[in-house]
Structure 1
Amino acid sequence: MKLTTARVLAQYRGLWLVAAPDREPELVTARGKLPVTPVTGDFVGLDEAGSIAEVMPRHGVIVRRAPGEAADGQVLAVNVDLALVTEPLPDPNERRLERFAALAGSGDVPVALVLTKSDLDEDGYMKAAQLGRTLGVIDSVAVSVRTGEGIDVVRGLLDPGATTVLLGASGTGKSTLINTLLGEERQKTGEIRADGRGRHTTVTRELLTLPGGAFLIDTPGIRIAGLWDGAGDTFADVEELALGCRFSDCGHTTEPGCAVRAALPPERIEAWRKLQEELASIDDRRAKSRR
């Protein structure tokens, strides 16, 4: 049977909005129970009736641990080539940035940081540069949709035909940034509270086409970036420095001759340790669920 290739633009309960060449976007159903549930960003095969009959092989899969105690993963986006992680100035949460970077890194997806609301912080550029070096991402930029600062830099990261996912907590300026990149008021934006934080606005993951041909997946604000499978290269500095420790089983706590403690700030080491503990807990729950 000949299938028509389409891409999933959005996922709803039992329905998918898909786009195929030379056809208007349409809502479709799946043909029976598929081995893999289609998600935003998937390439799928449509049968003659217009139903999803196949999910094509994926790359760049970003999975977080599902909320709750179950050892399950929740797929956030697939076929992703770059992750933009947003965090607002003037007080960016470095630990949260680390977790989102690790989330993308676990799917082998390169990461760039976008520090929004730079008009509220005259030191935003320096903070972006420092965080970029600390987290080892491919780029880090301070932006303001009000002044236009950094917007062209972000546009330069979005290659035609490539797919970028926007990750961040609620109120970090994702929807406003998307409207600026689109050049139109497409995404609703939440009102800003007195403390400068926005409200959650995006309700479903949606794939958008930007001027110039790049694709962008918007995601609802993620409260907890629970890791599912490793941390990628987010803590490559810790792993590399650990090779120089005096003891091969060094825990980077009080051991003499620890190269990690000698080179990195305690906060960075503690963030690495917490992620290792979380991943060990996930592995333990997986093992128990298989019994």
Structure 2
Amino acid sequence: MNTSKLKQQLPDTRACHGRNSPPDTGDDAKEAIARVTAVDRGQYVITNAQGEVPAKLTGRNLYISESPVDLPCVGDWVRVSYHDAGAHASILEVLPRTSFLRRKRPGSGIGFQMIAANIDVAFIVQSCHFDFNVRRLERYLVMTSEGHIEPIVLLTKIDLIRPEALEQLISTIRGAGIGARVIPISNVSGSGIDQLRALIESGKTYCLLGSSGVGKTTLVNRLTGHASRATNAVSHSGEGRHTTTRRQLVALEGGGFLVDMPGMRELGVLGVSEGIDDSFADLQARSLNCHFSNCTHASEPGCAIRDAIARNEVDAAQFQSYLKLKKESEYLEMTHHEKRQKDRNFGKLVRSVMKSKRRQDE
């Protein structure tokens, strides 16, 4: 990583040395601010103005963390202390996040999984040839909206379809009420790449979101200016193959930073009611004209949204997607709260038992 670029981003360290900071025991233990550039099974890589250093989370941080969301993720700014002459570091604190990407934890478990933090712009990548899916695009937009991240849609592999087919895809996006900027690109011909590069601002952090095989790794190589990441040949259908295996922060040619990440198969939404409302702002605006203020848009008379669907002013599929996301988010949120309460109760029991044991030992 270009550490000189990172140095320009470093926040004011004076704000991070409060009364709870551990004492400075010498140059080898001096505290500083760094950024998490990679996470792999509880092992961290941080980058400071001098370079990359392996780091571990202190036991105290592990103990006080109420959930995995509190643990460092790629893009986090962290307060660290160095040891072994600066060859290793301990993460003391995760600084407040300005934005975040998270989703429901994959599988049957209920909880959040942090993906990345402190992202300015998310490039949502969909292939024109095999991967295009408006409903999945809506989920990504809900995710970015909830995390306070600007979305830009990248339609890749435009060299595999006709211009009129591309126009139809863009029309489908607009018909679904999606107003995000759309940039068609081709990693083969280079079309749209310069337009994308022109968007990269020095000091800002970007990320790539999308399924495996849509051309994200090739795009990273173009934006970084060198083929640092291996790519696999596409299949005869034009579908790419999975290559990225972990999230990592890399420096871009334009002075910005990019979080490269594997494709996500599951996009469960949890605690994203605000993001859903923002992503479906047109439906939210129409709902204000419903006869009943608590209209569920199911069977009540005077429903402005159902009337708009009947007049072909609103896409019925978009409305069904909105209802599905709302229902899924509300159900998972309720289940998540129940699980958190059980975890808190269990934690209180453990602390009570430990306190009782210490009294007996005394």
* Bin for the TM-score computed over the shorter chain: over 0.9
Q: 2:38 aligned with 1:10, yes or no?
A: yes
Show CA shifts across 1:5-49 (max 9, x none). 11111011232111101x121212223241332111011122132
Task: Name the CA distance, whole Å, in 1 between partners of 2:127 and 2:207.
Answer: 17
Structure 1 residues 39, 275: CA separation in 2 closer, same or farther (over 3 Å shift)? same
Taking only the aligned residue pairs, the percentage that are identical comes to 34
Show CA shifts across 1:30-83 (max 9, x none). 232413321110111221322222211111111100012222100000001111
For residue 172 of structure 1, what is the aligned residue in structure 2? 214
Task: Name the CA distance, whole Å, in 2 between partners of 1:173 and 1:135.
Answer: 26
TM-score (norm 2): 0.75
Structure holding more helix per residue: 2
Task: Please state how far the C-alpha of 1:240 moved relative to its aligned partner.
Answer: 1.0
Task: Name the CA distance, whole Å, in 2 between partners of 1:151 and 1:73.
Answer: 34
Larger radius of gyration: 2
- Listed as ranges, the gaps of 5+ residues in structure 2 are 1-23, 25-29, 84-88, 343-362
Q: 2:270 aligned with 1:225, yes or no?
A: no
Instruction: Pick from 205, 208, 212 the counterpart of residue 250 of structure 2.
Output: 208
Q: 1:112·1:137 contact (CA, 8 Å) conserved in 2? A: no
Number of equivalent positions = 290
SS in 2 for 1:47: strand
Instruction: Pick from 192, 198, 213 the counterpart of residue 150 of structure 1.
Output: 192
For residue 11 of structure 2, what is the aligned residue in structure 1? none
Structure 1 residues 183, 129: CA separation in 2 closer, same or farther (over 3 Å shift)? farther
For residue 158 of structure 2, what is the aligned residue in structure 1? 118
Per chain length, whose mean CA-contact separation is higher, i.e. which structure has more relative contact order (CA < 8 Å, sep 6+)? 1
Query: Mapping of 1:1-291 within 5 angstroms?
Result: 1=24, 2-21=30-49, 23-34=50-61, 35=65, 36-49=70-83, 50-90=89-129, 92-121=132-161, 122-123=163-164, 124-125=166-167, 127-128=169-170, 130-131=172-173, 134-230=176-272, 232=275, 233-261=278-306, 262=308, 263-289=313-339, 290-291=341-342
Show CA shifts across 1:126-173 (max 9, x none). 533652574534411111111221112222332211111111111111
How much is the aligned-residue C-alpha RMSD, in angstroms? 1.9
Task: Name the CA distance, whole Å, in 1 between partners of 2:76 and 2:179.
Answer: 25
- Listed as ranges, the gaps of 5+ residues in structure 1 are none
Task: Name the CA distance, whole Å, in 2 between partners of 1:115 and 1:248.
Answer: 39
Task: Name the CA distance, whole Å, in 1 between partners of 2:149 and 2:174.
Answer: 16
Show CA shifts across 1:196-250 (max 9, x none). 2212111110001101211110111000111122151211111111111223233
Task: Name the CA distance, whole Å, in 1 between partners of 2:234 and 2:82.
Answer: 47
SS in 2 for 1:57: coil
